[in-house]
Amino acid sequence: MGWWDDICDRCGRCCFERDVDDDGDVIIDYAAPCEFLDVETRLCTVYDHRFDACERCGRVTLWTALVDPRLPEGCAYARRLRPWHREQPLDDAPDES
């Protein structure tokens, strides 16, 4: 993994079904994880080839981190790169178990 992947805190939020409601809030369906997500560790079981294994897996790019409304606020990329979301400390991801 490189520096970009190192930003990720492995919360796994991006590996669940998500939608954006009318108010712009991200709704995460924790009952619908990706088939390749280990829900205990929140790690992808096919990480090295996830984009080939899962057609729904999307690469988090700088653009995604800055503006994609489906990227949850608690995501480390969003917390680090969206200054308007910095009320949550970078090293303190909420526990959503």
Residue 57 included in any domain: yes
Residue 94 included in any domain: no
95: CB partners within 8 A, 6+ apart: none
Radius of gyration of the CA atoms of the chain, in A: 13
Contact 56, 50 (CB under 8 A): no
Which tokens is 3 given? 């520096």
- Residue 29 carries which DSSP code? E
Residue 89, pLDDT score: 52
Residue 91, pLDDT score: 53
Domains in the chain: how many in total?
A: 1
Residue 90 included in any domain: no
Residue 15, pLDDT score: 92
pLDDT digits (tens, 9 = 90+) for 28-59: 999 999 999 999 999 999 999 999 999 989 88
16 lies in which domain range?
3-85
Q: What region, left, alpha or beta, does residue 10 occupy, with left being phi > 0 and alpha being psi -120 to 50 degrees?
A: left
